[in-house]
Chain A
């Protein structure tokens, strides 16, 4: 037994945090995608209903949001520590390096998780500012659902994607999400030691499938809105 401080400041401890928080975020993003699919149904009512139901959870939603924020913070802090340790471990680099192939997962994307991660962090900040902390009921963004006044989140989404610049920003960011998941999903299991030779390949393949589905799922949303409601104001 060691102290928690000792555990989580060890190189392995940080990887447990990275892996566990990463998997929690995968689950969140899958749920987020499923929720967002309400965009495609009808003209706002399904999405506003979904949003209103989430908000009806009251305290439960706040607890979930704080938990989610903490998960992101843990993931980001652990990532920065891991990256700094590794940068520090090789002060003088090689003239050139070449992968030896075989079982390696050493690719441009797997080597640059910190880069795709930082792009996603930038995306997250913009996204939260526009959607979570964007125009609200007080700004007149209201809709009526069966006579009840609710926040018209659908209008926020539609107005954001009237602008081609945001369509490009959102859709392009999703490629980084895909690259991050491609290595991250499998990597989380390996970091937690929750893998064996028989699972390794299927889990790595599953990472690709999840990366493709999530990227495709989110990628088309801004484009769909722009294409179908581009002219409306």
Chain B
């Protein structure tokens, strides 16, 4: 016997205003698209996939956007949706956003992250390697060679490891920069600095890390933090600006410390 599942799928009309830009040098412009019969339980990125299918069928260039894991952990998707980084839901990435969060017929504006340090490559895709360079400037720990130490040889208080883990939840998506009215990268940089500063493994490089990562952040052309906390509101991992306060302490301590001289290398701790 054959069973049939009859579902009355709810659909909606989606009106989109999307930033189109052919190349980094192109001035770019908005283009509008309308899609009928979009399932309300479709994810936002699936809706864009459908739009691209439609554009391909029409022989047009699809809208370029980034995504990878589509489960909120990789930090690749990055869309400014109607003026909010990752859309209207707090604590979620664009890929965790569903069409049921929008009204049928509502005009949805989609833009790339806007920052000098994140130049647009095409449409909604930006070059976010500035974050990689900040990370490379000091967001790592030194490791000794030789035999493995016992995994639990180094004691870490639970509360500190919890706070370090909260900071380590940063997926580097760039929503903090995108949402900040000053395009500041303070939340990202501070999360990376704090995560390692709180743990004993991060201590040998602590001062060098704070000085170099902040210097790289400034060099990339990000704006200056004015404590608006919009980054924390936009962060899909809800990283606290407390990390920025810790970064301020770490940087000041490193800047006035006589133990460590930038450029000479290894006088640390």
> B229 to A105, Cβ gap below 8 A?
yes
> A95 to B248, Cβ gap below 8 A?
no
Query: Of residues B214, B227, B229, which shows the largest number of chain A Cβ atoms within 10 Å of its Cβ?
Result: B227
Residues 1-48 of A at the B interface (beta carbon under 8 Å): 1-2, 6-7, 10-16
> A90 to B223, Cβ gap below 8 A?
yes
Interface-facing stretch out of A59-67, A127-135, A162-170, A187-195: A187-195
A90 to chain B, nearest CB (A): 4
Query: Does A101 interact with chain B (Cβ within 8 Å)?
Result: yes
27 contacts between A and B (CB under 8 A): A1-B259, A2-B262, A11-B186, A14-B224, A82-B226, A86-B181, A86-B223, A86-B224, A89-B183, A90-B223, A92-B114, A94-B80, A94-B111, A95-B30, A96-B83, A100-B88, A103-B240, A104-B233, A105-B227, A106-B228, A106-B233, A113-B226, A190-B244, A190-B245, A192-B248, A193-B249, A193-B252
> A99 to B109, Cβ gap below 8 A?
no
Q: Bound state CA distance, A81 and B261, in angstroms?
A: 27
> A90 to B224, Cβ gap below 8 A?
no
> A90 to B229, Cβ gap below 8 A?
no
How many B residues are at the interface, by size bracket? 35 or more
> B233 to A99, Cβ gap below 8 A?
yes
> A102 to B233, Cβ gap below 8 A?
yes
> A1 to B257, Cβ gap below 8 A?
yes
A80 to chain B, nearest CB (A): 11
Q: Bound state CA distance, A11 and B184, in angstroms?
A: 10
Contacts known (A96-B109, A100-B230, A104-B230); A11 close to B84, Cβ less than 8 A: no
Q: Bound state CA distance, A85 and B219, in angstroms?
A: 11
A72 to chain B, nearest CB (A): 19
Contact partner of B227 among A11, A12, A191, CB < 8 A? A191
Contacts known (A88-B221, A96-B82, A195-B245); A11 close to B214, Cβ less than 8 A: yes
> A90 to B225, Cβ gap below 8 A?
no
A145 to chain B, nearest CB (A): 46
> A94 to B114, Cβ gap below 8 A?
yes
Query: Does B115 interact with chain A (Cβ within 8 Å)?
Result: yes
Query: Of residues A88, A98, A103, A111, which shows the largest number of chain B Cβ atoms within 10 Å of its Cβ?
Result: A103
Contacts of A147 in B (CB 8 A): none
> A11 to B179, Cβ gap below 8 A?
no
Q: Bound state CA distance, A12 and B13, in angstroms?
A: 47
B259 to chain A, nearest CB (A): 8
> B232 to A103, Cβ gap below 8 A?
yes
Query: Of residues A99, A111, A186, which shows the largest number of chain B Cβ atoms within 10 Å of its Cβ?
Result: A99
Contacts known (A111-B181, A190-B244); A103 close to B114, Cβ less than 8 A: no
Query: Does B117 interact with chain A (Cβ within 8 Å)?
Result: yes
Contacts of B198 in A (CB 8 A): none
Residues 172-201 of B at the A interface (beta carbon under 8 Å): 179, 181-184, 186
